[in-house]
Amino acid sequence: MLQPNERIDQLYADDIQIIQSRDVFSFSLDAVLLANFPTIPKRGLIVDLCAGNGAVGLFLSRKTKAHIIQIELQARLADMAQRSIALNQLEDQITVYPIDLKQMFTKIKPDSVDLLVCNPPYFKNLPTAVKNPNPYLAIARHEITTDLEEVVMMASKALKMNGRFALVHRPDRFLDILDCMRRHRIAPKRVRFVYPKAGKEANILLIEGIKDGKADGFKIDPPLLTYDENGQYLTEVRGMLYGS
């Protein structure tokens, strides 16, 4: 089941086991936040783009009866996701495709998705950008194989009318994200900023939009603080990780 340098971690809140590897990929708090942020359909179809080792889709599976499709370019990560699905006996609910998101419409129909979630590469692929020498981590963090524009464009094509799009990203890309969503017919509806602790700048952004939604009605959720002054998780984040 496990390959060299792999381990099994557990998200206690959702009773999910997940295969991780420091060598290629381990999910971070971003994935847990994203899985707990959007309005989740009870049934239908959910797509997880840039799925990595499958964390977001696995965490979502406990909150819905919808079928979940995961799209992950890197074959090693897609294989880890597939083995985690088997580990949790979720083969009937989650399907992984080890393909580029440019090929997603060979597996799903346009205008068919109820919710599309994505934890994309955060950093622009600039010539001056310092990239991780590990190619798995470089692709996960930098816009090498895809970028924000393509992610939002593909999401818009995949979503049915009034389908929802949810993204976790960095606050410094907020204006880019708003422009991009509106350009591709996704009306931004709700945003939440996540702060490492009181008195610090936000370091994570969660945003949700509706395909062909009305332009008005945008809301800013209360701020989410991750840690207290002693470096311990605060109540809301602790609940996402370990349950109530």
What is the domain range of residue 229? 7-242
Does position 145 have pLDDT exceeding 80, yes or no? no
Does position 135 have pLDDT exceeding 60, yes or no? no
Single-letter residue type at 215 = A
**Where residue 214 sits, what CATH number does that domain have?**
3.40.50.150
pLDDT at 202: 97
Query: pTM of the predicted model, to two decimals?
Result: 0.90
| Position 216 in a domain | yes
Does position 142 have pLDDT exceeding 50, yes or no? no
| Position 2 in a domain | no
| Residue pair 29/99 in contact by the 8 Å Cβ criterion | no
Q: Give the pLDDT confidence of 73-90 residue by residue, as tens digits.
A: 989 999 999 999 999 999
| Position 58 in a domain | yes
* Other Cβ atoms closer than 10 A to 208: 22
Q: Give the pLDDT confidence of 91-104 residue by residue, as tens digits.
A: 999 999 999 999 99
| Strand blocks (E) in the chain | 7-11, 16-20, 45-49, 67-71, 94-97, 113-118, 159-169, 186-195, 204-211, 219-220, 224-225
pLDDT at 146: 62
Its sign, for the CA torsion 164, 169, 170, 173, is negative
| Position 1 in a domain | no
| Position 149 in a domain | yes
When divided into structural domains, the chain yields a total of 1
When pLDDT is averaged across residues 5-22 and rounded to a whole number, the result is 94
When pLDDT is averaged across residues 212-234 and rounded to a whole number, the result is 96
| Position 18 in a domain | yes
Distance CA(231)–CA(242), nearest Å, equals 16
Q: What is the mean pLDDT of the chain?
A: 91
| Position 81 in a domain | yes
- The pLDDT-based confidence of 129 (bands split at 50, 70, 90) is low
Phi, psi of 169 (to 5 degrees): -155, -165
Angle at 120 between CA 117 and CA 123, to 5 degrees: 155
Among left, alpha and beta (phi > 0; psi -120 to 50; other), residue 199 is left
Distance CA(32)–CA(227), nearest Å, equals 15
